[in-house]
Amino acid sequence: SFLLPDLDNGFEAMRKIMQEDLNPCLARLYDPIETNSQLFKYHLVTPSSRKKMENQPGSCYLILGFDGKGELVDLLHKWAHDNLHWRWLENLVAA
């Protein structure tokens, strides 16, 4: 899962992922209202992720899921992290 500064950057990240043919089996972008909701912050993310989210108001939460053999899933997740991080991405989950 990743934290992006705003919804426009979230859409851009998802567009880039699809244009690179990563084809995640799951791609869910939460808007700032959902990302900053009490239910979301206190029941759906880890305490360390919650702290990062609280330091970035207006941010959006992106969940990507990849399907396949472990090595392939690891490679796709690494690609997403390496190629999106340069611009605005903060990885919330250790690989």
Query: What digits encode the pLDDT tens for the residues 24-54?
Result: 999 999 998 888 776 666 677 777 777 776 7
Of the chain, the percentage scoring pLDDT greater than 70 comes to 78
Tell whether the model's pLDDT for residue 20 goes beyond 80: yes
Q: Are 82 and 91 in contact (CB under 8 A)?
A: no
Mean pLDDT of the residues in the chain: 80
If one counts the domains in the chain, the total is 1
Give the domain CATH number at 50. 3.30.70.3450
SS3 90: strand
Which residue range is the domain that position 86 belongs to?
2-91
